[in-house]
Chain A
Amino acid sequence: MDESRLRELVPEVIGVLVRRGADFASAEDAVQEALVKALGTWPADPPRDAKGWLVTVAWRRYLDLFRSDRARQDREVALDLEPSPGPVPAVDDTLRLYFQCAHPSLTASSAVALTLRAVGGLTTRQIADAYLVPESTMAQRISRAKRRIAEVPLDQPGGLPTVLRVLYLIYNEGHSGEVDLAAEAIRVTRQLAAVTDDPEVAGLLALMLLHHARRAARTDPAGRLVPLAEQDRSRWDTALIAEGVEILQAALARNQLGEYQAQAAIAALHADARRVEETDWVQIVEWYDELVALTGSPVARLNRAVAVGEADGPQAGLAALAAVDPGLPRHTAALAYLYEKAGRLAEAADLYAAAARAASNVAERDHLTRQAARLRQVTSG
């Protein structure tokens, strides 16, 4: 069974129910239940019309939910029990769904969860597995998110910047258990790019593709983190790189630069270098200048300082880093890296050890500990 196709249908079917008059929250619940049923029965007994099946089952479930609610309220409602098939989902419907699910009034974790279920077509269990929380916890998170957005006035629909931030979060974080979250983030971003020509959406898609291209090289067979400079570039996916670059170039040609296009441009410059020594660091620094100008982000400043260290030498890098907030995550790691490049190995070892203590995940912690150990070996002679 093509789970990808099934997931694509979920937002479409929600759209059909909503256009028939169902409220979003109940429609989404009903479609989720139809999805779980489909996953159970389709492998043995696939329907001829997948979308029709989902619409029928979801609509019946919605009516059950609505009727039991009606019975309590005891009022007349004009509801078509056997409605004719609706028109093809409007582009607007899909876009509106993204805006609703990634609404600024929601916390990041709520928006991620709701987007993955209603837009991504994942089950609650799959999302819970991806974020390592119990299924009931994730179900509650999503129900509360829907109650929250039901309270939002209609004139505050939300917008693309929040949607892009949520999609980027899905791509970047989340543990891939049975579902490959990075691949789902890409799929859902492609879907968004198909219904809007905003160049930042294209920029985000390009960024994801260019990063995804390096995935196989990012960890070694022992599961250790491999930094960019040491990656085996023959393991990079050249087709994904080519696609990412093409999408990025089309976006840049629109002359509406944004943060995701700038980040994608940096990723493209890395992808362009067949060997790390061929990296065009000078151009990368220029793109970081753009990124910092666009966002003022301290993290962008920190990454820029490291790039300056490569383009203009470690002293220049250290000078740039001195202007960055030392409390930032990875600041000590960046300092350690530049000290090593500057030949101050004993100090770099101490800094790597300190950076390891400040690491927020085990892979980085172990990597930084290894760097400290490596340098201590060199300095102890």
Chain B
Amino acid sequence: MAKYLLLKHYRGAPAAANDVPMDRWTPEEIDAHVAYMQDFATRLGESGEYVDGQALAPEGAWVRSDGEGRPPVTDGPFAETKDLIAGWMIIDVDSWDRAVELAGELSAAPGAGGKPIHEWLEVRPFLGAAPVCH
């Protein structure tokens, strides 16, 4: 088993096929989308593959140390032209192929007009612990 991170982006990913912002869908289309996502997480819980899922606020800042004795430097809000993560799901699955399959399912969540969004999701393997025998 290996863990993978499925990353959703507010911006920075290549454009989705069905790219309309959610506040321009109908309320019923929003409900269908939310139900699809909840359903997906529930099925993954039942299959024993779900680890975590979080949504991120669009605000925040870049932070770095400014040296000893000085407060950290912050740089925000985030530039409109830059990549921005919207949230993630962590899955624990048997293979890369399974991770890709699940990302594909998540990507097909319905959007405007009830049609699948076909959003690009980033899939990243976790670096795990070293095996005992090595």
Contact = CB atoms under 8 A, between A and B. Distances in A.
A116 B26 CA distance: 43
Nearest to A380: B24
Contacts of B30: 366, 369-370, 373
B38 interface: yes
A223 B23 contact: no
Interface in B30-72: 30-31, 34-35, 38, 55, 57-59
A365 interface: yes
A81 interface: no
Contact of A224 (B22, B29, B31): B31
Contacts of B25: 373
Contacts of B24: 373, 376
**Chain B, interface residues (CB within 8 Å), range:** 10 to 19
A352 B22 CA distance: 12
Contacts of A222: 31, 34-35
Contacts of B14: none
Contacts of A114: none
Contacts of B59: 357-358
Contacts, number: 42
B27 interface: yes
A372 to B, nearest CB: 4
A374 B31 CA distance: 12
Contact of B55 (A224, A353, A365, A372): A365
A253 interface: no
Contacts of B38: 223
A362 interface: yes
B24 to A, nearest CB: 6
Interface of B: 21-27, 29-31, 34-35, 38, 55, 57-59
CB-CB nearest 4 A-B residue pairs: A372-B23, A353-B23, A370-B27, A373-B27
Given A224-B31, A349-B23, A373-B22, 12 more contacts: A224-B34, A356-B23, A358-B59, A359-B57, A362-B55, A369-B22, A370-B31, A372-B23, A373-B23, A373-B25, A373-B30, A374-B27
